[in-house]
A = this chain, B = another copy of it.
Amino acid sequence: MNRDTFGQALRLTLFGESHGPAIGCVVEGLRPGTPLDMDFMAAQLARRRGPRALSTARREADGVELLSGAYQGRCTGTALCLCIRNGDTRSGDYAKSACLLRPGHGDYTGRVKYMGYNDPRGGGHFSGRLTAPIVAAGSIFLFLLREKGVFIGTRLRAVGNIEDTEAFSQEAGAFQGQLQALGEGEIPVLNPGAAAQMEAAIAAVRAEGDSLGGILETQVLGLPPGLGEPFFGTVESQLGALLFALPAVKGVEFGAGFQMASLKGSQANDPFRMEGGRVVTSTNHNGGINGGITNGMPLVLRTAVKPTPSIYKPQETVDICRRENAALCIEGRHDPCIAHRAAVVQDSLIALGLCDLLNQALGLSWQGGALWPEEAPWNMD
């Protein structure tokens, strides 16, 4: 049951290898008539490529071709296939060391799972490059959510030991301003001072031939209460499963997360009160989720992104062809840190997960449609 698919009422199937002909995805469950904003898609893909100075030297144009499911600039409602051709591949870089397992990578486990038949070039299907179609499709999901007043933003909370000390605003207008700024900066932080420090830290590890990890924090404003399920489909399960699909994520927490363990109930509980006719909570240690279901407060989560495993320092490893210990010096083009580039991927995955939950709850009618003929919009005049 080799799975490259996520979602129930909105479904994304991922395909491609880093150095194969193309990467892409098929999306099922999009509202017929959803506008396709190709400029926004391109802008999100540019954010994923990251600033040239801090990222891999591999530069891909990431032109997206819509193979199906689109007509006259809108989604038709049938399966949408997004396809991105691979161009700037230098497979030779990998051929030299095909037998040497890169520590921290999927080389060994991929070889076992796929019995040696997987495409080893550039990590094959295990490449971070596969996040590009997720970002392309994610731009459509983010568009749909914005239409309903739901806004998602992810910032780099920390790189190594350097923290972004500003906080997300819980006020809708101010938050949208922050999102604007995050999209424009080279490093997605709220405090511009942190960006400079982080860039310096990344440049320093790059100079050493080493790499750094980080923490990403996401806030979602505008979600209605009632999304999610009490047990196997909690919002935490849904988003946690998606975020753990992001290569390099080794931890996910919601609200106060691991800090919850050292709080008392009287500190951790978020008291309810009425405000403007709505039920709100005074604090938000639960990150907008009670009993697995959204409560209408800001959804807050954090992920731990490990340092890029591809480093230029010599490493001990195994030559799997000869089945003996060996030394490894990685060549090729790699990022000294991917946490900042992963922010837009995290936004995209969360948008996928939330649109799936909304589709589950509301079906086509959320999407503007109606089944009983007297209500069908095209039937109306």
Contacts and interface: CB of A to CB of B under 8 A. Distances in A.
Given A236-B250, A291-B110, A115 B269 contact: no
A171 to B, nearest CB: 18
A156 to B, nearest CB: 10
A243 B253 CA distance: 12
A158 B261 contact: yes
A78 B230 contact: yes
Contacts of A115: 32-33, 77, 368-369, 376-378
A193 interface: no
A307 B83 CA distance: 36
Contacts of A271: 103, 315-317
A292 B369 contact: no
A298 interface: no
Interface string A147-190: 01000000000111100000000000000000000000000000
B17 A258 contact: no
B3 A28 contact: yes
A286 B371 CA distance: 20
Interface in A1-27: 1-6, 8-9, 11, 13-17, 20-24, 26
B260 A211 contact: no
A240 B282 CA distance: 29
Copies in the complex: 4
Contacts of A260: 213, 250-251, 304-307
A366 B364 CA distance: 10
A296 B291 CA distance: 35
Contacts of A109: 225-226, 228, 289-295
Contacts of A79: 2, 4, 13-16, 125
A263 interface: yes
A362 B17 CA distance: 25
A87 interface: no
Interface string A342-358: 00000000000000001
Contacts of A324: 274
Contacts of A295: 108-109
Contacts of A360: 1, 9, 363
B211 A130 contact: no
B76 A114 contact: yes
Nearest to A365: B365
A18 to B, nearest CB: 10
A61 interface: no
A122 to B, nearest CB: 12
Residue of A252, A294, A359 most packed against chain B (CB within 10 A): A252
B226 A237 contact: no
Given A14-B232, A78-B124, A109-B226, A4 B20 contact: no
A251 B253 contact: yes
Contacts of A101: 272, 279
Interface in A258-297: 258-274, 277-279, 281-282, 285-287, 289-296
A15 to B, nearest CB: 4
Given A5-B13, A104-B270, A251-B258, 15 more contacts: A1-B8, A1-B9, A15-B26, A16-B79, A71-B117, A77-B117, A78-B114, A109-B292, A210-B265, A211-B264, A240-B243, A240-B252, A250-B258, A253-B258, A261-B304
